[in-house]
Chains A and B, each alone.
Chain A
Amino acid sequence: MSEHILSIIWLTPLIGMLAVMCLPKENKALIRIVANGFAVLGLLVTIPMILAFDKTNGDFQLVERFDWIPALGAQYYLGVDGFGYLMIILTVVVGWLSILCSWASIQDRVKEYYAFFLFLQAGMLGVFMVLDVFLFYVFWEIMLVPMYFIIGIWGGGKRLYAAIKFFLYTLAGSVLMLLAMLTVYFKHFELFGNYSFAIEDLMRVAAYTGPDMQFWLFWGFFVAFAVKVPMFPFHTWLPDAHTEAPTAGSVILAGILLKMGLYGLVRFAMPMFPKGVTDDLTVTLVAVLSIVGIVYGALVSLMQTDWKRLVAYSSVSHLGFCTLGLIAMNPNGIAGGMLQGFNHGLSTPLLFLAVGVVYDQRHTREIADYGGLANRMPIYTVLFAIAMFASMGMPGLNGFIGEFTILRGALEVSVVWTAFAVLGIVLGAAYLLWLFQRVMLGPIKNPKNEGLKDMNAREILVMAPLIAGCFWIGLYPKPYFEILEPPTNKLVERLDPAYFSSGAPELIEGEVELSQARTEDATTSE
């Protein structure tokens, strides 16, 4: 069993899906119990992975490998390093919570709902552990299908439009990735005479291709990942999909699907095409798009009248930070970008869950329909405040650590980048605090809000693990940096072999202690 740890992780939800499909559709309670059971089981089966994972090792671990389609050279090839490890943990936790939070809010077609959700879960887990590019593409594409149905069947008013828009945008991006993939694969065949899709084989091609070629190939991959992240100007599917999706769908979209773009960049696009990503034009373009995303996302959030849409646009802004960190291509930037991705996977689901709590009672997402909720829902207000501060980058919570590390990385490259990013942080505080003020504070103006009930135990239970995660990373991020350090250093070394010998700043120790000290300062001064 121990050599199939990763297979068991992604197959558990798939088996759960088959189990749910076999249940009678009238018995909703049983379906919910079975689906939640498998979600919890999905958490438990990651324990062997956590125990077996060696944090100090930057290579792929827990590798499983055998031939799948010899005619194509495609293999069933799984493995994790620090990047994948964190994402898998995020996926099982957020996936479990989103299944749990659907308990009361989904009443129609319950059986299909849970079947699709477990299928989605299996697909997402697959994406984060696959090391064969062909199999990666399979997981990457097939995962869109359940998401299409989740938005399209259980979504809000414009769900049909949002669902197909989500699907087509992502598909258009990924077919370009397929072409880039096939080009590298073909080059590899020409150079080495055998067909292979294994990541390390395709990485060998980089030494034999010129910067121009790599530039285009990198952008082939990049467009697919940029759509998923989503980066300005590929982001327009996101507000619709996030807004129209049911709460659990938004949670998964924001929590995990967006991270696939980041993960794809560090796993495939950047190491496979080092000359393409270090190209001046690429760096400038990606940095500019990231910065535009940060500022534009924040400004648009400021203007939203729809609560969920506001949170959706805030993702554009936050993910802009992540990509800015990645394109800085130094240890702080990359580790910070990935950690911030993880952080966003904790704090944004919290915000969506918070919207879901009141939406289930009031069935409106308009900010203007609320106001003064703090009077009726004290627990809710406190939890929402924590989520908001986490998202804003308040010291002591996770967002601060991520943003700080990214800014440190960006500063190494350019003061201008950093200045714009800081502007984004200020705007971020503005739209979140203004939202808080409009929704929570003041007297209750709308009589319908008088009858709102505070959160029940299940709703609190759903939020609790995420909030605990926010505090953990905010107060003691060291374990996370330790996990990210080996793969980050490996990636930086691949992109710039001279980086570590040139005496440029390394990640960890100094930086974290510094941020730690600031955190403590900030908490004491509060």
Chain B
Amino acid sequence: MDGFTFTYDDFHVLEPVVVLCLFGCLILLSDAFLVRRVGKRGLNAVTALVAEGIVMISVLGYLAEVRAGGALSGLGGSVVVDGFGVFFNVIFVLAATLTILLSARYMESEGEHRGEYYALLLFAQAGMSLMATGQDLVVLFVALETMALSFYVLVGFLRRSRKSNEAAMKYLILGAFSSGLLAYGFSVLYGIGGSTGLAAVGEAVAAREAEDWATALALVTITVGLFFKISAVPFHMWAPDVYEGAPTPTTAYVSVASKAASFALMIRLFIEVFGSAAESWMPLLAAIALVTMTIGNLAAVTQTNLKRLLAYSSIAHAGYILLGLVAGNETGLRGIAIYILAYVFMNFGAFALIAALRRDGEAAEELDDLNGLFARAPGYTILVAILMLSLAGIPPMAGFYGKYYIFLALLGEGHYFLAVVAALYVAVAAFYYFRVIRACWLSQGSDTPAVLEMGLGSRVALIGCGVLTVVIGLFPQRFLDLAGESVLAAVK
């Protein structure tokens, strides 16, 4: 690194990270000195939304540049903005924006509406943004930890709630453990490659013989670390408790954004570093994907708490997404991208509903609380039905296309057994998503029914998610193209 100078290019690839960190600090300061005196905590949300707007502009700028002239590289090649990174950054902006929209009303009702919350949301996003663009083991690890540390606090943000504290504790311990494993794996990779750059490490791994113990060690530790992050079975135990205990908007954020970021990291590592060893990790990944779908789907069937139900359903979704990686071809990766994009909207929509559901001012999170919702909010119930159909993967909803590509990829690679099992689990999944629909539409409400208390933010979020789920479903061309571009960058 002789003669290292910080040029505009170096800054340019970091734009979203810089903007997010600056705005995070700004929120902390303005909250302390300005907002607290005015007494309008909503202002913090507005500031955070402004930050998201700027990041979105910056990311769309990237998209135009990448389309015109290929990937942008900076910081000595340790951060590279390519189509893949741009795509995931779009996902993070969408997820963070939706989280902010949901949070204002919810945190107010819970009596924990403070500035740090939004600052942490942005810091987490800064970490995720780098996870998708980093090309260096150290950068990636720091990015991952930035995200994870922010999330530990966010999950426990309801200080007075026991469940929230418990969730934070569990998340912290297991998260730290998985980060440790990951760091260990990274150190082995550094030993193999003599460099922290992914490209150099990848070459070194490819140069080694197939049955190499060092590669295997790195592979296993890194895989297990990442399995924790994406809550793949058998490393999923934390997910239901954390999902249940965390503030609902944070749950949505963890389940969508942190998972997307971890998948981005996973795809990068598996394709760029372990691509040559695909034969050895493919069966492992296939087995884990199969078990993850099985446990996720079967456990979800018996849940009575909505957040736990969605937690298990998200485990099942992780199984499907893993299958895209098992197929490992371009179609499979395209499937992962479109799956995650659709997942943002359908999952946030579902959590927007739960965040708004209240009985006597208390958060209502049981399946039974939805009973007879149709009589009270017919319009929103239609949206719920759409979101659930999409989660189940019924066409023409957005959620269908992810499954479509993943099935196609599996069939193309000759994984018929996996495809058949995965397809049949669609029917199992439909069963529990229809329990939600059934509660809303078919069951009678009790005398003191839970009601939807929606602020402007959650209205926008829920309606936006529902409408986009249908729009992407009916006119997916543009979104499929975007996903396709991102994949081409990853495969190259």
Q: Let me know if A179 and B481 touch, CB within 8 A.
A: no
Q: Let me know if B395 and A69 touch, CB within 8 A.
A: no
Q: Let me know if A164 and B438 touch, CB within 8 A.
A: yes
Residues in A159-201 with C-beta less than 8 Å from chain B: 159-160, 163-164, 167-168, 171-172, 175-176, 178-179, 182-183, 185-186
CB contacts (< 8 Å) of A144 on chain B: these are 394
CB contacts (< 8 Å) of A476 on chain B: these are none
* Partner of A138 from B396, B412, B426 at Cβ < 8 Å: B396
> Nearest-CB distance from A505 to chain B (Å)?
41
Q: Let me know if A71 and B394 touch, CB within 8 A.
A: no
Q: Which residue of A lies closest to B428 (CB)?
A: A168
CB contacts (< 8 Å) of B404 on chain A: these are 72, 178, 182
CB contacts (< 8 Å) of A148 on chain B: these are 434
Q: Which residue of A lies closest to B483 (CB)?
A: A71
CB contacts (< 8 Å) of B431 on chain A: these are 164, 168
Q: Let me know if A145 and B394 touch, CB within 8 A.
A: yes
Q: Which residue of A lies closest to B419 (CB)?
A: A179
Number of A-B residue pairs at CB separation under 8 A: 75
Provide the bound-state CA to CA distance between A71 and B441, in Å. Answer: 36
Q: Let me know if B434 and A164 touch, CB within 8 A.
A: yes
Residue count of chain A within 8 Å CB distance of chain B: 30
CB contacts (< 8 Å) of A163 on chain B: these are 442
> Nearest-CB distance from B378 to chain A (Å)?
8
Answer yes or no: A137 CB below 8 A from chain B CBs: yes
Q: Which residue of A lies closest to B427 (CB)?
A: A172
CB contacts (< 8 Å) of B426 on chain A: these are 171, 175
B344-363 toward A: CB 8 Å interface, digit per residue (1/0)? 00000000000000000000
Q: Let me know if A70 and B477 touch, CB within 8 A.
A: yes
Q: Let me know if A172 and B424 touch, CB within 8 A.
A: yes
Q: Let me know if A71 and B427 touch, CB within 8 A.
A: no
Q: Let me know if B395 and A179 touch, CB within 8 A.
A: no
* Partner of A182 from B408, B441, B481 at Cβ < 8 Å: B408
Q: Let me know if A71 and B423 touch, CB within 8 A.
A: no
Q: Which residue of A lies closest to B426 (CB)?
A: A175
> Nearest-CB distance from A179 to chain B (Å)?
5
Answer yes or no: B389 CB below 8 A from chain A CBs: yes
CB contacts (< 8 Å) of A160 on chain B: these are 438, 442
Answer yes or no: B299 CB below 8 A from chain A CBs: no
Q: Let me know if A186 and B441 touch, CB within 8 A.
A: no
Answer yes or no: A84 CB below 8 A from chain B CBs: no
A430-474 toward B: CB 8 Å interface, digit per residue (1/0)? 000000000000000000000000000000000000000000000
Answer yes or no: B197 CB below 8 A from chain A CBs: no
Q: Let me know if A176 and B477 touch, CB within 8 A.
A: no
Answer yes or no: A153 CB below 8 A from chain B CBs: yes
Answer yes or no: B463 CB below 8 A from chain A CBs: no
What are 30 A-B interface contacts by the 8 Å CB criterion? A69-B475, A69-B480, A71-B477, A71-B480, A72-B404, A72-B476, A137-B395, A138-B396, A142-B395, A145-B385, A148-B434, A152-B442, A160-B438, A163-B442, A164-B438, A168-B427, A171-B394, A171-B427, A172-B427, A175-B423, A175-B427, A176-B424, A178-B407, A179-B407, A179-B419, A179-B420, A179-B423, A182-B404, A183-B411, A185-B408
- Interface residue ranges, A against B (CB under 8 Å): 69-72, 137-138, 141-142, 144-145, 148-149, 152-153, 159-160, 163-164, 167-168, 171-172, 175-176, 178-179, 182-183, 185-186
